[in-house]
Amino acid sequence: MSAIVPDLEAASAEEVLAYAVEAFHPRLTMACSFQKEESVLVHMLSAIEPSARVFMIDTGVLFPETLASWKRFEERFGLKIEVVDACSPDEPWTAERCCGAAKVDALERALVGVDAWITGIRREQASTRSGTAKLERDSRRGIWKFSPLADWTERDLWGYIRQHDLPYNQLHDRGYGSIGCAPCTAPGEGREGRWVGQAKTECGIHL
């Protein structure tokens, strides 16, 4: 990547991904949680670069529907999704400990050796994500972070999924706007079903 950071805010999702591949592949990876955003991104990325790396974090408490989506994604998009096994907390289970040990630590391992990563976060998902840029420096890890769908809406996502007849997590059809681990996720609009009743809005991956 050149010393001059490009302004990608007016670029389409496909253009952002194409730039990410051109600038960083093969030292580029994409996080996949098998939500509607990843249905779109994996479809786009696999078309641009079939050998692009995609990883998932297996916390051991994912929904069966999420695990089923994993297989459907691999079959449809013709790729092998890397599995990062999450370390299990040694102490009694809590959401905070699980997110720290299971997700954040696993992410750090997944990003070893890469110069950039791709996420599916969008500005309209939560106030904590409203300032998301399509390309920004992940100062915590010293690498670049792409969010090609930052300016996409729910309508944009479902329009694309239906247009291309893409596989998606069936929990979305049962009222789950956002999908994480089974113990901490309930049906709800947007991210309101995550960590219900707890003073928590993010697992820590994007903080």
In the set 32, 99, 181, 203, the catalytic residue is 203
Cβ-based neighbours of 102, under 8 Å, separated by 6 or more: 57, 59, 60, 86, 87, 88, 89, 181
User: Is-contact 161 76, C-beta < 8 A?
Assistant: no
194 C-beta neighbours (distance < 10 Å), count: 23
Distance CA 115, CA 203 (A): 22
Chain mean position to CA 109:
16
Short-list 64, 19, 17, CA closest to 45: 17
Task: Please say if 98 is a catalytic residue.
Answer: no
Active site residues: 203
